[in-house]
Every structure is written in structure tokens, then in C-alpha cells.
Amino acid sequence: MENIKFSTAGKYTFVISLGVGTFLFLLFLITGNDLLLVYGFMYVIFAILVNVTVLVCELLVFLMDISERKDSGNSVLLLLANIPIAILYLLVIFNFY
């Protein structure tokens, strides 16, 4: 079986975005500090801009690459995985706080 490969930019963008978002989410759940909500929403806006930029770049590379390498295509799917995770975090915050 073949290992799934991701582009470096897509992989690091996903990991950093998910890590920082999860850290802020868990910190808010633990402390309940309202200031963390403000920081969290500002981070979400920033993360959307960065993720969309990297996503578009990866998608363009994927569509223009005619070789068998699908690193960029896998990275597009990885970056899209951030969307349902962020929605889940927002639903938890809106429904329980």
C-alpha cells in the first residue's frame, strides 16, 4: 500500500491552523474567558484568509500538474477538512455558551 503524500505548504497550513484553533477552543472551554472568544473569532478570520490562499494555490498546482504526483490534490482535501472541524467548534460554543 502506498503512503499518502501531501505538499509541504498544505500539510503545515493544516497542522498549524488546526493546532492553534484547537488550543484556543480548549482554552476557552477550560477558562470560560470571554476575551478568548474575541481572539478566537479574530483567529478564525485570519485562518480563513490563509487557508483559502493556500487552498487556491494548491488547487492551481494540482490542476496544472500533468504528472502522476497528486501531493497538491491530497493537500486540497486536507485543507478542506478544516472546515467541518471549525463548524463543529462553533456549534459547541454557540450551543453551550
Angle between helices 8-31 and 71-80 (to 10 degrees): 20
Total-model pTM: 0.87
Could you give the CA distance from residue 48 to residue 7 in angstroms, rounded to a whole number?
19
Tell me the DSSP string of 5-64.
---HHHHHHHHHHHHHHHHHHHHHHHH--HHHHHHHHHHHHHHHHHHHHHHHHHHHHHHH
For the stretch 25-36, pLDDT in tens is 999 999 999 999
69-89 mean pLDDT: 90
